[in-house]
Amino acid sequence: MNGKIYLMGAGPGDPELITLKAVRILQAAEVILVDDLVNPLLLRHASADARIMAVGKRGGCKSTPQAFIHKQMIQAARAGKDVVRLKGGDPFMFGRGGEEMEAMHRAGIAVEVVSGVTAGIAAPASVGVPVTHRNYAPGVTFVTGHSQDGKRVNWAALVASLTTLVIYMGVKTLPDIVAQLLAAGMSPHMSALAVQNGTLSEQRQVLATLETLHSAMIEKHIGSPAIVVIGEVADLAGIGMTSAADIETFAHVA
């Protein structure tokens, strides 16, 4: 009999932000395929007998081919092993979980999704920013700043939506994103926030405006992995900041 595949979210980084269900399944898993952004401390929950495979994927770095990951998952499951595919955040939020679910379905292998806390909510929350707030935005849009196969985000449509924009994998392409948002009519003074290594002890963040965010990130040495939040809700970061000195202090909070 085939084993089962668990597409599991490891949460945003803080090892305490993983679900109880995920811990229970990790403890029983026989094979665990782990992404780069997963906190290694979570592997303390794994059985000493579990086979652990690093199959990292990160922009700008050497990545494990997706086809190879599918092959390893299928081979282990067909050998009767229960397999955890452990991903940072949530497996269905820019984590290729959908692709892996389809591949397992084609192979005739059972899949269960174990949701996780996504960085797009947890990183802003760590500095007091709610991605939704009835006084500031009618909703939130989670979007990738990393296009694939020439497909591009319709930034003009997102500006018109008036939703909070939460951008994953957008550090490298931020200048282009900002240019398109400005061209679509977003105010250059719109509040903008970047949070690097959200929820971890090494977390760093900077609050700026849309037109100054990129330069502020360079000045404060904030890079990937980072979540970018654009919208009025960003003003809630460190409520009470009224001066440049306050904002400078906030930018240096670890």
CA distance 55 to 37: 11
CB atoms within 10 A of CB 150: 5
Would you name the residues annotated as active-site residues? 35, 57, 169
The SS3 assignment for 93 reads coil
Dig out the tokens for 157 from the structure.
Answer: 């449509």
CA distance 146 to 226: 13
CA distance 12 to 16: 10
Q: Can you give the C-alpha Rg of the chain in angstroms? A: 19
Helix (H) or strand (E) holding 32: strand 31-34
DSSP of 43-87 = GGGS-TT-EEEE----TTS----HHHHHHHHHHHHHTT--EEEEE
